[in-house]
């Protein structure tokens, strides 16, 4: 079997990590894989690490460098790669790749069967509505997804929450989609590392990893600060992730206005996130919804107790009071109580992190994901 993966790549993050893990594992199982990435010129520099990992992993890749999201030249280049390689399937990731190959299928005579993985959804929708399918309307984003759905043979979603959104939102037919959760084999923890400069060992360090964008809900952690002060916790909140757009500026202005600077640090993009996981006391993930939320698995791996809201897909991955604490949406008092519990109760921390690590190793592993993906490929090829 021969499969071409396709994706627009801006940074080496969630779905890109998935690519660099699943493709070598599929190759080892006898699935011959290649990857085509469409990249804007201004993003090339920050993808040096991504390219290095591709080469070290012996992944055959094609980079198409263009500023255009859709052009005749781009489509011709994609079709040439797709047809020259004589692939059994083209595996699409994210909306741009779905659109390119659906256009090629409709208007340029591409014959290869298309399949797709749904990693996430429109971030503006998530910020306003979470994963509420009743709020799906006829936006440009939805119209593109529905156009592609007619050309794509089968999908898999990385979470039940995403599947529920796209099926009950009448975007994708229920009989065309299944769920395959992420799975990764994380390296052993390093026992010697440099303590990050923004970690204060005299305080309880609360790590909030992830891009600083509205749907990830970082403002709600900031709004727990008065309650955490009343509870007598000597803490520091560390936001680790790119500050993007007006939301990042708004949060920084709010911190300054409320004089919270001594309680909060914005790191921006970090290259040593594992060191912050290891050095922090707890992890808070306040998203309004997540397609999956890979940072949750990272917290499991680094054996850090986690508190989230009761939202997809965190409420699928966490068992409340067994592998983490789930907070009623979006109750700030309960969030502050759960943060206090994790900081003050070592027995609960140990119980949660021990079971979370077992769950990671036993279920959220690479071999299980790869096995299910190959079954998905075989079913897609057989169902002509």
Specify the CATH number for the domain of residue 374: 3.40.50.2000
Quick check: is 60 in a domain?
A: yes
Quick check: is 190 in a domain?
A: no
Q: What average pLDDT score do residues 92-108 get?
A: 97
In this structure, the answer to whether residues 150 and 288 fall within a common structural domain is no
In this structure, the answer to whether residues 148 and 20 fall within a common structural domain is yes
In this structure, the answer to whether residues 162 and 214 fall within a common structural domain is no
Q: How confident is the model at residue 110 (pLDDT cuts 50, 70, 90)?
A: very high
In this structure, the answer to whether residues 233 and 162 fall within a common structural domain is no
Residue 166, CA distances (Å) to 176, 229, 363 in order: 11, 41, 25
pTM greater than the 0.75 cutoff: yes
Quick check: is 212 in a domain?
A: yes
Q: What mean pLDDT is reported for the chain? A: 95
In this structure, the answer to whether residues 221 and 324 fall within a common structural domain is yes
pLDDT tens, 270-301? 888 999 999 999 999 999 999 998 999 999 99
In this structure, the answer to whether residues 303 and 158 fall within a common structural domain is no
Q: Which domain holds residue 272?
A: 204-362
In this structure, the answer to whether residues 145 and 280 fall within a common structural domain is no
In this structure, the answer to whether residues 68 and 84 fall within a common structural domain is yes
In this structure, the answer to whether residues 161 and 299 fall within a common structural domain is no
pLDDT tens, 213-267? 999 999 999 999 999 999 999 999 999 998 878 999 999 999 999 999 999 999 9
Residue 279 contacts by C-beta under 8 Å, 6 or more apart in sequence?
A: 195, 196, 199, 205
pLDDT tens, 342-360? 999 999 999 999 999 999 9
Quick check: is 196 in a domain?
A: no
In this structure, the answer to whether residues 230 and 319 fall within a common structural domain is yes
Quick check: is 155 in a domain?
A: yes
In this structure, the answer to whether residues 273 and 286 fall within a common structural domain is yes
Lookup result for tokens 């921390």: 349
Q: What's the domain count of the chain?
A: 2
Quick check: is 115 in a domain?
A: yes
In this structure, the answer to whether residues 213 and 327 fall within a common structural domain is yes
Distance CA 133, CA 288 (A): 14
pLDDT tens, 300-327? 999 999 999 999 999 999 999 999 999 9
Neighbours of 329 (CB within 10 A): 16
Q: What average pLDDT score do residues 355-369 get?
A: 97
């Amino acid at each position: 079997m021969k499969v071409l993966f396709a994706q627009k790549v801006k940074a080496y993050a969630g779905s890109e990590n998935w690519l660099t893990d699943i493709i070598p594992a599929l190759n080892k199982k006898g699935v011959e894989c290649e990857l085509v990435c469409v990249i804007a010129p201004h993003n090339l520099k920050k993808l040096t690490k991504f390219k290095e990992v591709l080469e070290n992993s012996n992944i055959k890749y094609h980079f198409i460098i263009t500023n255009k999201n859709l052009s005749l030249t781009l489509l011709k280049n994609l079709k040439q790669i797709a047809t020259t390689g004589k692939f059994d399937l083209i595996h699409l990731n994210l909306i741009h790749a779905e659109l390119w190959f659906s256009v090629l299928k409709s208007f340029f005579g591409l014959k290869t069967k298309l399949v797709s993985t749904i990693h996430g959804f429109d971030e503006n929708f998530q910020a306003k509505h979470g994963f509420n399918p009743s709020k799906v309307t006829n936006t440009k984003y939805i119209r593109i997804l529905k156009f592609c759905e007619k050309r794509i043979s089968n999908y898999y979603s990385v979470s039940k929450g995403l599947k529920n959104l796209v099926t009950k939102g009448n975007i994708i037919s229920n009989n065309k989609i299944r769920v395959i959760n992420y799975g990764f084999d994380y390296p052993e923890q390093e026992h010697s590392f440099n303590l990050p400069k923004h970690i204060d060992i005299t305080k309880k360090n609360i790590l909030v990893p992830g891009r600083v964008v509205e749907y990830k809900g970082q403002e709600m952690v900031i709004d727990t600060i008065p309650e955490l002060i009343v509870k007598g916790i000597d803490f520091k909140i560390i936001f680790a992730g790119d500050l993007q757009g007006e939301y990042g500026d708004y949060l920084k202005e709010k911190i300054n206005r409320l004089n919270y600077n001594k309680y909060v640090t914005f790191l921006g993009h970090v290259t040593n996130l594992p060191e912050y996981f290891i050095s922090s006391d707890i992890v808070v993930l306040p998203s309004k919804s997540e397609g999956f939320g890979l940072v949750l698995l990272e917290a499991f791996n680094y054996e850090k107790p986690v508190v989230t809201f009761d939202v997809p897909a965190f409420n699928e991955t966490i068992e409340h009071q067994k592998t983490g604490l789930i907070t009623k949406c979006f109750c700030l008092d309960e969030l502050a109580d759960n943060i206090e519990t994790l900081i003050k109760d070592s027995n609960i921390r140990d119980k949660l992190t021990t079971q979370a690590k077992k769950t990671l190793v036993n279920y959220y592993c690479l071999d299980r994901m790869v096995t299910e993906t190959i079954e998905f490929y075989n079913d897609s090829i057989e169902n002509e």
